[in-house]
Amino acid sequence: MARSMWKGAISFGLVHIPVEMYPAASDQGLDLTMLDRRDFAPIGFKRYNKATGKEVSWDDIVKGYEYRDGEYVVLTDEDLRRANPEATQTIDIIAFVNAEQVPLVYYEQPYYLAPGKGGDKVYALLRETLREVGKIGIANVVIRVKQHLAALVCVGDTIVLNTLRYPDEIRPVDELKIPAADSKAAQVTDKELQMAKALVEGMSEKWKPEQYHDTYREDVLALIKKKVAANQTKTLTEPEPEEEKPAKTNVIDLVSLLQASLGKKPAAKADADDDDEPPPGASKKPARHADDDSDDTPPPRARKAPAHAATHASAKRTTAAKSTSAKTATKTAAKRATATKAAAKPAAKAAPARRRKAA
């Protein structure tokens, strides 16, 4: 545990509880260093005197408030403490309220409060009281140079001070397009609601914070390890061109999404004769008896011939057509030859008669 960042006392009524404050959260993000892309050297920032341009060490830095353009009032930590010693050293509880009355959006930063020297008994008294009445303490506290509204919450055996945002620090939602519960666009059916509740119930489990971890950070660290192993530590990965995604429609089939989430296949679109659907597990083919001659049974559909069968049939038709055409042409030619011979015979008989007359 880090060293305490604040020492003082919790005060309510005439009771004072000496406590020490510790950060309750630690940032586990990736610590990335800024580099010059030309030679990959780290970039540093200097604290320098704007009048002389020379670098200034931390020991020579003090704080000041600019009360006029270019004019400052120097304020040390002791000055800030003396401005209101009680406010800077006291967590002053001003009210107790039900926890559910404070919206989560007001909560800001958590801190652990541990009892100071000689404060174990009164610390335990406040803790057990908060636990029994089911309330949280609303208090004022100054951390560094800012006064905070805070909530004292009993978490297990520890009292946690969680700083709260002031109402004017909460942005209004008036400009957001939030659908009203009674608006037509946001109306949900009983079926959708029941399916959503079933999904929530199916995903419900006990709170086990140890099973959650930053998987994205682990993926980035694995990528770093892979680039080191491949000797690609100086490789700049450029973004790939984005593929055009098909335009999404605004129509959402909520029932299908809920069914898919519940592990069910979306129901097929109902036909006009849904009432004749057989019960689950029954065959969809109607039973046909040997003596069933009713005329209202639809005839069986002709099976569609496969592609290769259709091709074969087409070839047969083409061959048959060619054969028929050839036979027809042969018959026509034979008829023409017979007619020519018949016309030639009279002409042959008439030729000797003409020669005799001429003689």
> pLDDT digits over 16-62, tens only?
899 999 988 887 778 889 999 999 999 998 999 999 999 999 999 99
The residue among 160 and 194 whose pLDDT is bigger is 160
Contact call for residues 153 and 159 (beta carbons, < 8 A) = yes
- Cα dihedral angle (193, 197, 202, 204), rounded to 10 degrees? 150
DSSP helix/strand/coil, 71: strand
Distance CA 60, CA 58 (A): 5
Say yes or no to pLDDT of 170 above 80.
yes
> pLDDT digits over 319-349, tens only?
544 455 445 555 555 555 555 555 444 444 4
> pLDDT digits over 68-121, tens only?
998 999 998 888 888 877 778 899 999 999 999 999 999 999 999 999 998 999
For the chain, the structural domain boundaries read: 6-24+84-169
Q: At what angle do helices 190-203 and 254-261 cross, to 10 degrees?
A: 20
Task: Indicate whether this model's pTM tops 0.75.
Answer: no
* CA geometry: angle 315, 317, 323, nearest 5 deg: 105
* Nearest CA-CA partner of 92 in 145, 151, 140, 148: 140
Which pLDDT does position 308 carry in this prediction? 44
The stretch 301-308 carries a mean pLDDT of 44
CATH number of 6-24+84-169: 2.40.290.10
Distance CA 42, CA 51 (A): 27
